[in-house]
Amino acid sequence: MASPIAWRLATITAVRPETPTVRSFTLSLPDWAGHRAGQHVDLRLTAEDGYSVERSYSIASEPERAGEIELTVERIEDGEVSGFLHDVAAVGDRIEVRGPIGGYFVWDATGPLAEEPLFLVAGGSGVVPLMAMLRHRSRTGLRNPTRLLFSSRRVEEVVYRDELDALAMAGDGLEVAHTLTRSQPPGWMGYGRRIDDRMIGEVLGALGDRARSFICGPTALVEVAANSLVRLGLPGDRIRTERFGPTGT
Amino acid sequence: MPVTDRFVTRGFTGRPRTAGAGAPGDAASRTPPGQYLTMDFPVLSAGPTPHTPLDRWSFYLEGLVRQPVTWTWDEFKALPARDWTVDISCVTKWTKLDMRWRGVSVDTLLEHVELQPSAAFAIVHADGGYTTNLPIGDILNGQAFVAWEYDGQPLAPEHGGPARLVVPARYFWKSAKWVRGIRFVDRDVPGFWESFGYHNRGDQWLEERYSGD
């Protein structure tokens, strides 16, 4: 029997705005044993009277960063934990963390998947675990053909926009395609609609059915993207998904 | 450093607490540790949603049974069904109260086979290759059912339709979506999430989320 994954105290060492509603938090964890790109952690907040809440957040940072992890958290309306993180938590505060958790929605730059083309599809803050994969890929110097299709509502809501631009200009085989579903700025060169079959086919392009795919975002986006990939001939076991958000029903 | 005593998070007060009898307090007492209540019905799946046509759908009981049995969709829907109103907790922390389903009890299914004495575990199989494991004792006596309706409507594919197992007393990954059959075995075999770091039993009241909890 494995021993439990222990709760640890992490210290917030940096807070960085990514968009008006998304912030990244650097958590110092000196004895962190490492994680795999795509894994998450649980956070626990406890009030004076013992009332406590837990939430899971994907790790945004690459495993190569020693002694700390970064979480990128969207402020959810009325969110008990995300609201606290955005409005109250400050550098120097300590917070309870346990993990890493999850062993399926993961991608290792050194494993058997490393040589395969990588096709990532993200919706909004669903980009977070995929960013861990892209940072991991970049840090390890991998050059496997990789494409990210990233759906956001507006250009100012694109999480990691500058960093994604920089990664895509590194010339290491990464291409990033954006779509903006609500409004597009003048001169916008990317897509301007919700993800559909045609968009998936165009961005997947030459990666073809040899690609390994990770999809993370709201349920409706994940359903569309995964179903498209199945229709394009990608075997179901090459498509890994992570979903969040209401179903709308 | 590992946490020993109860740690209090600076500045965290949380939502207003409701105490005493009545609906809100009742809701609190029905929420397992570490969970929050949601009105949504979130979707979590590890891969694409399978779409098996109903004329190719079947449900089987096999393994350590005297005579395996297979039902077609029409035969399965003709089994004695009932309505179930249960609270569901997902390991991703949401709990939803009073979820209304319609389906057939696993007890009713088992009336059609004779389990061999050595049968001790149920390995649940689903479209897409998903599996989950349960001791037989966890799915008997009204503890588990196979549902094809949710909230008066046919169960949507993203929620596991045409049919999903529902085991309310365990975290929701044990309630296999797109379920197609149960294999009875004498020795436990970890299922899909049970092989990826999640707890083998998954009792939400004991907060058995991850391996070792």
Q: Which residues of A touch B199 (CB under 8 A)?
A: none
Residue A246, pLDDT score: 40
Residue B15 lies in a domain: no
Residue B158 lies in a domain: yes
Residues A37 and A122 in one domain: no
Residue B3, pLDDT score: 60
For the cut 80, the answer to whether the pLDDT of residue A43 exceeds it is yes
Residue A194 lies in a domain: yes
Q: What is the DSSP string of A203-244?
A: HHGGGGGG-EEEEEEEHHHHHHHHHHHHHTT--GGGEEEEEE
End-to-end CA distance of chain B: 18
Residues A81 and A194 in one domain: no
Q: What is the pLDDT of residues B102-155, one digit of tens each?
A: 999 999 999 999 999 999 999 999 999 999 999 999 999 999 999 999 999 999
CATH code of the domain covering residue A45: 2.40.30.10
On whether the CB atoms of residues A246 and B48 are closer than 8 A, the answer is no
Residue B28, pLDDT score: 85
Cross-chain residue pair B1–A9, CB shorter than 8 Å:
yes
Residue A112, pLDDT score: 78
Residue A79 lies in a domain: yes
Which tokens go with A177?
A: 């395609």
Residues A35 and A141 in one domain: no
Residue B161, pLDDT score: 96
User: What DSSP state is assigned to residue A191?
Assistant: B
CATH code of the domain covering residue A129: 3.40.50.80
Distances in whole angstroms, Cα of residue A243 to Cα of each of A29, A221, A237: 27, 9, 17
Residue A146 lies in a domain: yes
- Say if B116 is an interface residue toward chain A (CB within 8 Å): no
- Is residue B74 within a helix (H) or strand (E), and if so which, with residue range? helix B73-77
Chain B's closest residue to A2, CA to CA, is B212
Question: For A80-97, what is the mean pLDDT?
Answer: 96
For the cut 60, the answer to whether the pLDDT of residue A99 exceeds it is yes
Residues A93 and A131 in one domain: no
Residue B178 lies in a domain: yes
Domain boundary among A101, A134, A152: A101
Chain A's closest residue to B94, CA to CA, is A55
Residues A44 and A147 in one domain: no
Cross-chain residue pair B17–A49, CB shorter than 8 Å:
yes
Q: What is the pLDDT of residues A218-244, one digit of tens each?
A: 999 999 999 999 999 999 999 999 987
Distances in whole angstroms, Cα of residue A112 to Cα of each of A145, A150, B111, B137: 15, 25, 46, 39
Residues A133 and A229 in one domain: yes
Residue A187 lies in a domain: yes
Residue B91 lies in a domain: no
Residue B173, pLDDT score: 97
The total domain count for chain B is 1
The total domain count for chain A is 2
Residues A93 and A144 in one domain: no
For residue B159, what are the domain limits? Answer: 56-83+101-206
CATH code of the domain covering residue B133: 3.90.420.10
Which ranges constitute the DSSP H helices of chain A?
A: 80-87, 127-139, 161-168, 197-204, 219-231
**Predicted ipTM?**
0.87
Residue A2 lies in a domain: no
Of A109-118, A140-149, A166-175, minimum mean pLDDT range: A109-118
Strand bridging mode B58-63 / B69-72: antiparallel
Residue A30 lies in a domain: yes
Beta bridge partners of B134: B122
Residue B7 lies in a domain: no
Cross-chain residue pair B9–A95, CB shorter than 8 Å:
yes
Confidence class for position B1, pLDDT limits 50, 70, 90: low
Domain boundary among A45, A74, A101: A101
Residues A216 and A131 in one domain: yes
3-state secondary structure of B182: strand
Cross-chain residue pair A239–B48, CB shorter than 8 Å:
yes
For residue A41, what are the domain limits? Answer: 8-101
Percent of residues, chain A, with pLDDT higher than 70: 97
Distance CA B44, CA B63 (A): 29
CB atoms within 10 A of CB B86: 17
Q: Which residues of A touch B132 (CB under 8 A)?
A: none
Give the predicted TM-score (pTM) of the model: 0.92
Residue B49 lies in a domain: no
Residues A84 and A132 in one domain: no
- Say if B25 is an interface residue toward chain A (CB within 8 Å): no
Distance CA A86, CA B8 (A): 18
Distance CA B146, CA B164 (A): 6
Residue B150 lies in a domain: yes
Residue A239 lies in a domain: yes
Q: Which residues of B touch A95 (CB under 8 A)?
A: 9
Q: Which residues of B touch A229 (CB under 8 A)?
A: 48
Distance CA A208, CA A28 (A): 40
Angle at which helices A161-168 and A127-139 pack, to 10 degrees?
A: 40
What backbone torsions phi and psi does residue B70 show, to the nearest 5 degrees?
Answer: -130, 135
Confidence class for position B4, pLDDT limits 50, 70, 90: low
Domain boundary among A71, A101, A131: A101
Q: Which residues of B touch A52 (CB under 8 A)?
A: 14, 34
Can the peptide bond before residue B154 be classed as cis, meaning omega within 30 degrees of 0? no
CB atoms within 10 A of CB A249: 12
Residue B6 lies in a domain: no
Residues A230 and A159 in one domain: yes
Chain B's closest residue to A237, CA to CA, is B47
Strand bridging mode A146-152 / A174-180: parallel
Residues A96 and A13 in one domain: yes
Confidence class for position B44, pLDDT limits 50, 70, 90: confident
